[in-house]
Amino acid sequence: MKRASVLFSILLAVFAFTSIFVVKADPIAAGTKVESFTLPDAGGKDQTLDGLKGSNGSVVVFLSVQCPVVAGYNDRINQIAAEYQAKGINFIGINSNNTENGTWAKHAADTYKFPVLKDAGNKLADKLGATVTPEVYYLDKNNVLLYRGALDNDRSGKTVTDTYLKAAFDASLGGKPVEKKSTNAVGCSIKRLVTE
């Protein structure tokens, strides 16, 4: 009887904890223009999409301190960011996890070679429809969404056969339409607090 009571208490606690998070995001479609946004960087200074984007566009990438999938992608993210910054596409990291408020700034400064901004209250994640980390949104120089989803088809990085994001970059920079406009991003859920 005591064991059943303990098990019930644990299940109730797990339910209570997980119920404070809610995913309330529908992804925006390719061709949608994204309005410039303003969010604080790791130093507390407000930054805007229009101020950070490159001459050929930007990538908004949702990141996490604790997600092992993001950790597996970090080197690839930094490599792609450096390669395409030279071609006029700037990366902008976004941390929307409400559970990482105290750790994200130092992690961002230590890990990434591009600015990372804090999306308190998940406003940008909700607006774009982001649900997991890592998830990327490639915008052209006019902030029109060209591609949304995963960086590539293998989160381990060992057997990558489709480099979705790079293919979108190369098509766009070559003056061609992006063929694959969205893929399913796989990773850790963005932790949202219920505000209702």
Tokens representing 63 are: 């990141």
Is the pLDDT reported for residue 196 higher than 70? no
Q: What is the pTM of this model?
A: 0.85
CA 79 to chain centre: 16
Q: Does domain 24-189 have CATH number 3.50.50.60?
A: no
Domain boundaries, the chain: 24-189
Length of the chain: 196
Average of pLDDT values for 116-126? 95
Q: Are 25 and 191 in contact (CB under 8 A)?
A: no
pLDDT (tens digit per residue) in 81-107: 999 999 999 999 999 999 998 889 999
Is the pLDDT reported for residue 22 higher than 60? no
More confident residue, 191 or 7: 191
Q: How high is the pLDDT of residue 27?
A: 81
Average of pLDDT values for 113-117? 97
Q: How high is the pLDDT of residue 12?
A: 35
Closest CA to 66 of 101, 110, 100: 100
Distance CA 65, CA 134 (A): 11
**Cα 140-111-84 angle, rounded to 5 deg:** 30
Q: Is 12 helix (H, G, I), strand (E, B) or coil?
A: helix
Q: How high is the pLDDT of residue 102?
A: 86
* Band (194; pLDDT cuts 50, 70, 90): low
Q: How high is the pLDDT of residue 143?
A: 98
Omega prior to 68 cis, within 30 of 0? no
